[in-house]
């Protein structure tokens, strides 16, 4: 079984278009699938799941769609707080990775509160990549290292991979063993760029709102058949 699964939630807009619905309806449907898959990953013992929810490039989408997505994130966080979704119901904790300082202030406060509420140890970590970009994450880590070098706390010649990893949003978590992308697209789109160096990739033609636990099982079974050599023989 993979310890860490990354999921690129793709295809919401196309799912809605196929049904003659607004793109925002596709995002609402996709949010419901997110909850189901989160619960299922906890049930089968996955340690970490990282969902690509909103990228640094998604700000280029129509303002109405961006506003609807932010509203959807807010509603989910309010629900999570009201029913303690992260602890009592789902058996997992929520983490947010990305530059959350760029999202609306009200959403920032909810994110911060959720992070504080989730300090208890739990069985499954759910990372929600919000205003996230893999290159931006690496830049974030490099800037932290540069500051240490400027202060004389670290010599440039002594910088290690561990120093870079310590500045990533996923510091302390295992790298993703398996990354799943539904919707038929065959790329990572700036998702977990550093961490995915040896990840197994699985692509599916199923649009995210139609993605089921059976589809996840199929991806995991495919992963189990692979021989991970990490550059060895």
Residues involved in catalysis: 10, 58
Joined tokens for residue 12: 């919401």
Joined tokens for residue 110: 């909810």
Neighbours of 3 (CB within 10 A): 14
Contact 30, 65 (CB under 8 A): no
> Cα(97)–Cα(105) distance, rounded to whole angstroms?
16
**Closest Cα to residue 2, out of 34, 33, 42, 47?**
47
**Closest Cα to residue 185, out of 197, 209, 201?**
201
Contact 16, 26 (CB under 8 A): yes
């Amino acid at each position: 079984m993979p310890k860490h699964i990354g999921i690129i939630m793709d295809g919401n807009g196309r799912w809605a278009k196929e049904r003659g619905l607004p793109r925002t309806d596709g995002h609402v449907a996709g949010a419901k699938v997110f909850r189901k898959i989160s619960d299922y990953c906890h049930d089968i013992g996955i340690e970490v799941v990282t969902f690509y929810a909103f990228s640094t490039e998604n700000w280029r989408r129509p303002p109405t769609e961006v506003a609807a997505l932010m509203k959807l994130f807010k509603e989910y966080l309010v629900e999570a707080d009201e029913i303690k979704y992260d602890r009592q119901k789902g058996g997992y904790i929520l983490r947010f990775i990305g530059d959350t300082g760029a999202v609306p202030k009200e959403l920032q406060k909810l994110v911060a509160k959720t992070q504080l509420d989730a300090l208890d140890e739990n069985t499954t970590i759910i990372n929600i990549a919000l205003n996230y970009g893999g290159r931006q994450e690496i830049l974030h880590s490099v800037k932290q290292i540069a500051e240490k070098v400027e202060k004389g706390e670290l010599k440039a010649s002594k910088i290690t991979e561990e120093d870079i990893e310590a500045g990533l949003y996923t510091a302390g978590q295992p790298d993703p063993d398996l990354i799943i992308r539904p919707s038929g697209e065959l790329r990572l789109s700036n998702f977990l760029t550093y961490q995915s160096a040896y990840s197994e990739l699985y692509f599916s033609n199923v649009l995210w709102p139609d993605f089921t636990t059976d589809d996840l099982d199929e991806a995991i079974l495919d992963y189990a058949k692979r021989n991970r050599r990490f550059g060895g023989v």
